[in-house]
Amino acid sequence: MNEIQLHTVPWQHAILDNFLNGDTLNDILEFWETLPKNARWEGTVFRQAFDKEGNFIDLWFTQSFIKKLTDVMEPKLVNKIYEEVSLKVRSVGTLLEAELDDEDAFVVDIQYINRHTSYPFHIDANDKLLTLITFLYPDKSVGTLVGNDKDALKTGYREIEWKPNRALVFKPDETTWHAFRSNGRNRRMTLNINIYKKIDNPTGRREE
């Protein structure tokens, strides 16, 4: 992992190049190439959560597009990803003054979207303490768009330039408006890490 780049426009965030070790990145890409296409179409987010000790835990999410990562990826590789990134992510979170003492779940997602998919400007759910997005595939695509409000496409935004193995990290709040889209030619894959705080909601968590 290279030096952390800190930015304050349009809001505080960090950028890390070469976030994953080369062999871990290659293992993820190789796994994806061998995944049956029907499994890819059944969900766009493949998820596994960990507790503070690095043990698998189950989180209930109500959206049908979220599937269990360990149903499609060997648990050994899922563990390898966690063991490599957990300290890095928490270290950057501390630098960004995220309140990680309240951590309840460390969540690893592989997100896969179609070549024409776009997601509008939004802020993350209020139970997230830290968000990390690592660009994986393809070599060229559209990076995460960051702005000051939900109308940033009109009022102005900047793009975190897409570069494979580049990670964007930020502490979510009411100002961290961001969006993403594919480039119209290739499907888009990212490794997303979200650290959640404890919630008292018997109906479970929802993606927002």
Residues 152-175: tens digit of each pLDDT = 999 999 999 999 999 999 999 999
Residues 56-95: tens digit of each pLDDT = 998 766 677 888 899 889 999 999 999 999 999 999 999 9
Q: What is the pTM assigned to this prediction? A: 0.92
Q: Which residue has the tokens 């109906």?
A: 203
> For residue 36, is the peptide bond before it cis, meaning its omega torsion is within 30 degrees of 0?
no
CA dist., res. 84 & res. 129, Å (int): 20
Show the DSSP H helices in the chain as ranges.
Answer: 22-34, 37-42, 75-95, 152-155
